[in-house]
Structure 1
Amino acid sequence: MSGSRHELRVVAPGGTPEVRPGDDLVALLLPLVALRDGDVVVVTSKVVSKAEGRVRPGTRDDALPGETARVVARRGPTMIVRTHHGLTMAAAGIDASNVESGTVVLLPLDPDASARALRATIRERTGLNVGVVVTDTAGRAWREGQTDIAVGAAGLLVSESFEGRDDAHGNTLAVTAPAVADEIAGAAELAQGKLGGRPFAVVSGRADLVLPPGEDGPGAVALVRAEGADLFGYGAREAVLRALAGSPDDRAPFGAPAADGEVTAAISLVLGVDADPDGDGLAVPLGPEGRAVLAALAFAHGWVLDDNDSAGRLRVRPSTP
């Protein structure tokens, strides 16, 4: 069974000059495209950053500390970090391509604010109601290659929820929430290309996602999982290091305290002993020699190593907020 035909159209115009600090991006865009109500204007973060003066002398390594909220994973020279925006990206999204030698481009300070400003200016000058997406390129866990994602958005539903709805076979959808802002970013990049010098694109055919004038929506920040809500808050090696180090500052990405049964199973698997319920925690029949490993296991599960119980056993309990 098939529904009615639906068409999505993506246009990425050529002719954009090199963008400099202070340039008016809307003035550069409007002569190149014929916008309509309900279109989605897609702009690469690189030209937004250039116009906003986010170009810096130096290398990625020079700029990385200032753009990093915390390290997520390291493999050799590659460093994946969480930026101050909450984005998780290689080298904090700092770009050394398509920019003068000896300089790098940082991400916009607030990509959602940049998208809102572009949308408001387009409305002001044309009277049209459009959505705006600011994009950047990112890798994905479990997948080779990169794709563009939305780092900023305005006037757009950034995700759709199908939870509770039935499919054509009567199955109820449980957790189905397409990140449509990311899908729009990826579709636009297919037309823009990496080397084509086409930083703008216009996506037509999804006016249903564009919000009414004056409503900018939650922005792309709504697609960023909160600290502790992501199952992969650290890379495999980094998680081991952080758990063993046990710094309170590193606790949040491990998430909320795990259930007793999960902690009991982990202790049995790693230490080969059975933990017993003990008030609000667990008593573990280990001597001082097992303390360091148990402390790391507890930390990784959102628990803490407590004082020994009356029988001299080690004791762990959930950490308090």
Structure 2
Amino acid sequence: MELEPVTGLPEVRPGDDIAELVAERVDLEPGDVLTVASTIVSKAEGRLADLEDYPVSGRAQEIADRIEEIAGEEKDPRFAQAVLDESAELLIDVPFLLAETRFGHICPNAGIDRSNVPDHDILLLPRKPSESAERICAGLEERGYEDVPVIVTDTCGRPFRHGQTGVAIGWAGMPASRDWRGEADRDGHELGVTVQSVVDELAAAANLVTGEGAGGVPAVAVRDWEFGDHDGSDELFRAVENDLVREALRDWEFDG
């Protein structure tokens, strides 16, 4: 497998066509996978905002006050309000905000970013990242690049581990997972539970070459990778009714 960063992309502005920007800078082949950072997808879709646009509710003020008391530093209740507005559910509200976005992804601060946002205060995640991926796929096809799946990525921490890794928040043109259930291991034992999240693994691989901070490259072409002869699934975000961790968090209270 090869990973080729798509270099030379300009600062993306609202209304920019990501498929066009990418197609001008890399030659894609059928079977390649294009990973695109959610940052430039959000910018192209105009998901930039200023904190003054968020009237503070009583709950947002309470959240900011509680976190400020624990952290010992001032917290802006308008940011808490932005997180609330972007969330389907707030799973933790102290000592930090852990939210489920309206498209099902669970992450701190509903994925709202304050880095690399010129001329605005914050950058929101795309409203529906898989639909964003579909539009980029369609744009690539219009420019002669057919059968190129697209994954919209973000950087996220994980429970029980230090550090962040790339994850998929939207995808199109390929299944989210390889389903190994029913297949055999080397000893002939049938696999009963293994479902491999390939969109997350490709997002993490791409993140190795995209980088972070000021030197980041927001798109990567993945070459010579094959899904293989496996069943596929588009299930990525765990359903509420069988999410034991979410159930436990709903009953958890911070004591500190």
- Deviation, structure 1 residue 103: 1.4
Counterparts of residues 57-96 of structure 1 (less than 5 Å) = 57-58=50-51, 60-76=79-95, 78-96=96-114
2:141 is aligned to 123
Q: Deviations for 1:265-302, whole angstroms, at most 9, x for unmatched residues?
A: xxxxxxxxxxxxxxxxxxxxxxxxxxxxxxxxxxxxxx
1:103 aligns with 2:116: no
1:21 equivalenced with 2:14 (yes/no): yes
Whole-angstrom CA distance in 2 between matches of 1:202 and 1:14: 11
Q: Which runs of 4+ in 1 moved over 3 A?
A: 207-210
Partner of 1:141: 159
Change (3 A) 1:190 1:240: closer
Give the whole-Å Cα distance in 2 for the aligned partners of 1:209 and 1:200: 24
Conservation of the 8 A alpha-carbon contact between 2:6 and 2:26: yes
1:236-255 aligned at under 5 Å gives the runs 236=249, 238-240=250-252
1:171 to 179, 189, 194: 189
Distance 1:240 1:93 in 2: 22
Give the structure-2-normalised TM-score.
0.82
Q: Which residue, 171, 179, 188 being the options, matches 1:161? A: 179
Distance 1:207 1:170 in 2: 24
**Which whole-Å CA distance do the structure 2 matches of 1:161 and 1:102 have between them?**
42
Match of 1:270 in 2: none
1:197 CA displacement: 3.2
Q: Which residue of 1 aligns with 2:45?
A: 52
Aligned residues: 225
Question: Are the aligned partners of 1:133 and 1:150 in contact in 2 as well (CA < 8 Å)?
Answer: yes
Is the partner of 1:185 in helix, strand or coil? helix
- Structure 1's unaligned 5+ residue stretches are 1-7, 211-216, 242-321
**Contact 1:42/1:202 (<8 A) preserved:** yes
Kindly indicate whether structure 1 or structure 2 has the higher relative contact order, using CA contacts under 8 Å at least 6 residues apart: 2
Q: Which moved more, 1:56-65 or 1:155-164?
A: 56-65
TM-score for the superposition, normalised by structure 1 = 0.66
Letter matched to residue 46 of structure 2: G
What SS is found at the alignment partner of 2:39? Answer: helix
Q: Is 1:190 aligned to 2:202, yes or no?
A: no
Aligned partner of residue 126 in structure 2, secondary structure: coil
Q: Secondary structure at the match of 1:223?
A: coil
Distance 1:218 1:152, change over 3 A: farther
The offset of 1:145, in angstroms, is 1.2
| Rg (Cα) greater in structure | 1
